[in-house]
Amino acid sequence: MPNPTVLVAEKLGEAGLALLREFSNVDCSYNLSQEELCAKISLCDALIVRSGTKVTREVFEAARSRLKVVGRAGVGIDNVDLQAATEHGCLVVNAPTANTIAAAEHGIALLTSMARNVAQADASMKAGKWQRNKYVGVSLVGKTLAVMGFGKVGSEVARRAKGLGMHVVAHDPYAPADRARAIGVELVSFDEAMSTSDFISLHMPLTPTTSKIFNDDTFGKMKKGVRIINVARGGVIDEDALVRALDNGTVAQAALDVFTKEPPAADSKLVQHPNVTVTPHLGASTMEAQEGVAIEIAEAVVGALKGELAATAVNAPMVPAEVLSELAPYVILAEKLGRLAVQLVAGGSGIKGVKIVYTSARDPDDLDTRILRAMVTKGIIEPISSVFVNLVNADYTAKQRGLRISEERIFHDGSAEIPVDSIQLHLSNVESKFASAISDSGDIRVEGRVKDGIPHLTLVGSFAVDVSLEGNLILCRQVDQPGMIGRVGNILSEQNVNISFMSVGRTAPKKQAIMAIGVDEEPEKETLKKIGDIPAIEEFVFLKL
């Protein structure tokens, strides 16, 4: 396999680039136009951007399924079309933590410099003036600051503002009250935050709900002479309404790091307003934050390219690293069971319903099965289509194909140290090319377990077997009689096919049995035919795992 290619479309810290280069070909091409990006992207396995690149549906379409991961070297993913990414099975990862402090510090820098007219006074002095009376500021101590969006950045801003002696309230419909209480911040309603605050600092993401949430109506609810800081996203403010509020004195000052359109027009009334302090989206731009972000995103992208499940996935379930490592062998088991089950289905017999049954000693809340369900889906769909299925698009792809996947948990009286005792797949309303795979309830049924970290097949239909799920598998149903293992073994060894495992499960001595044989190589058709010709063998199937 050639090394993957990573297109880095915006400036990234050296430490991140070095990590990427260890594993991939890195193409640093900055300031690409949309057309240039679309032209390049079909040659790339990963794309890394900051906030300056729009990763639109057009980009995903132009990638023609090669693009596996988009890494956003920062927090905000409003410049990436997540729906299009998901539909194309492209994972989007971000670097959510490394620039938090930088953004919070920039928020505080804007707050303090705005209150004391630092930028305006500096410009005035550089223009040769000495205007001490013009630039009298306002004090922060004892004033009320409303933090709108009490997430990572918002809570760090709150913590720092408390240190400046401010009274801090916060509004965030999703923030836990105990986190606010721990910092000494009161969570209040939107309207209360608007009407009681001297300073309002914005820290929410740009979403359809927050778009232009600060508009004529909300400025109308604010205390006259309020001061606003925005280091979140320009789009949360209706910028024309803010200019009106500044002009009529409702808003005394604003300090803005972010704009609806970046860069804003040179003659933007907002940027040029005398009561507005602006910076060109510098919140994350410290040496320390950029090195941290570069490393965070490079690790996430390399991990995703290696097929590891990302802990900072934006369009896939976020699964903590410790859960990922604990579930790793079960992830393999789930995919192999799916792969195996679909190969047992007779041609022309479309699969509609799949039930996944987990037996586990864990409390349902302690077992996150989303990855396992995604991997079963991958195992079922990939062998019968050209679609690339991963954690990102598994549910979407299943739905598109009319595949209903349900899950059931059965409590197993064992150790809760082990996340899953067994995984069973039931494929309903299908015929099987290996009749013995049909269980008493009429479904194709396979079951597996993890033993010593290795996935094993433990049940086919109603037959207990025990064979590790590696390489390829031959399943034979035979009349249980001595010498069968030797006969099949001889046929395979004649063609130099190495047998890795063998297991026989029978209903009763001398009755029917299922022989499961693990083989490293794929036997030729002629060899398989010879096995089928053994009189005691009633049916057999060759399965690729």
Ligand X SMILES: O=C(O)[C@H](O)COP(=O)(O)O
Ligand Y SMILES: NC(=O)c1ccc[n+]([C@@H]2O[C@H](COP(=O)([O-])OP(=O)(O)OC[C@H]3O[C@@H](n4cnc5c(N)ncnc54)[C@H](O)[C@@H]3O)[C@@H](O)[C@H]2O)c1
Active-site residues: which are they?
233, 262, 281
Report in angstroms how near the CB of residue 310 gets to ligand Y at its nearest: 17
- Closest residue to ligand X in the complex (CB): 74
Q: Is 75 in the site for ligand Y (CB under 6 A)?
A: yes
- Closest residue to ligand Y in the complex (CB): 151
Residue 50 interacts, among ligand Y, ligand X, none and using kind-specific CB cut-offs from 5 to 8 Å, with ligand X
Q: Is 13 in the site for ligand X (CB under 6 A)?
A: no
Q: CA quadruple 383, 385, 388, 392: dihedral positive or negative? A: negative
Segment contacting ligand X (CB under 6 A): 67-75, 157-165, 169-177, 350-358? 67-75
Interface residues for ligand Y in 374-403 (CB under 6 A)? Answer: none
Q: Is 397 in the site for ligand X (CB under 6 A)?
A: no
SS3 484: helix
Q: Of the candidates 164, 188, 87, which has an alpha carbon nearest to the alpha carbon of residue 394?
A: 87
Binding-site member from 13, 74, 448, 461 for ligand X (CB under 6 A): 74
206 with 78: CB under 8 angstroms?
yes
Binding-site member from 281, 449, 477, 530 for ligand Y (CB under 6 A): 281
Q: By C-beta, is 73 or 146 nearer to ligand X?
A: 73
Residue 174 interacts, among ligand X, ligand Y, none and using kind-specific CB cut-offs from 5 to 8 Å, with ligand Y
Interface residues for ligand Y in 196-215 (CB under 6 A)? Answer: 203-206, 209-210
Q: What is the DSSP letter of 346?
A: P
Rg (CA), the chain: 30
Q: By C-beta, is 292 or 518 nearer to ligand X?
A: 292
Binding-site member from 150, 214, 434, 501 for ligand Y (CB under 6 A): 150
Q: Is 280 in the site for ligand Y (CB under 6 A)?
A: no
Residues of the chain by 3-state class (helix, strand, coil), percent to 5: 35, 25, 40
Q: Is 206 in the site for ligand X (CB under 6 A)?
A: no
69 with 393: CB under 8 angstroms?
no
- In the chain, the N- to C-terminal Cα span, in Å, equals 20
Q: By C-beta, is 293 or 425 nearer to ligand Y?
A: 293
Q: What is the largest CA-CA distance in the chain?
A: 106
73 with 16: CB under 8 angstroms?
yes
Site string for ligand X, 37-66 (x = CB under 6 A): -------------xxx--------------
How far is residue 395's CA from residue 381's CA, in Å, rounded to a whole number?
11
377 with 338: CB under 8 angstroms?
yes
- Please report the beta strands in 441-522, taking only residues with DSSP state E, as ranges in sequence order: 444-451, 454-460, 463-468, 472-479, 499-506, 512-519
For residue 124, the cross-strand partners are none
Q: Is 231 in the site for ligand Y (CB under 6 A)?
A: yes
Give the phi and the psi of residue 232 in degrees, each rounded to 5.
-95, -90
| Number of shown-chain residues binding ligand X (CB under 6 A) | 12
Report in angstroms how near the CB of residue 256 gets to ligand X at its nearest: 13
Contacts of residue 365, Cβ cutoff 8 Å, sequence gap at least 6: none
Q: By C-beta, is 24 or 99 nearer to ligand Y?
A: 99
351 with 388: CB under 8 angstroms?
no
Interface residues for ligand X in 254-283 (CB under 6 A)? Answer: 281, 283
Residue 214 has which token pair?
Answer: 């600060």
Q: By C-beta, is 194 or 371 nearer to ligand Y?
A: 194
SS3 106: helix
Residue ranges binding ligand Y (CB under 6 A): 75-76, 96, 99-100, 103, 148-154, 171-175, 203-206, 209-210, 231-233, 257-258, 281, 283-284
Residue ranges binding ligand X (CB under 6 A): 50-52, 73-76, 99, 281, 283-285
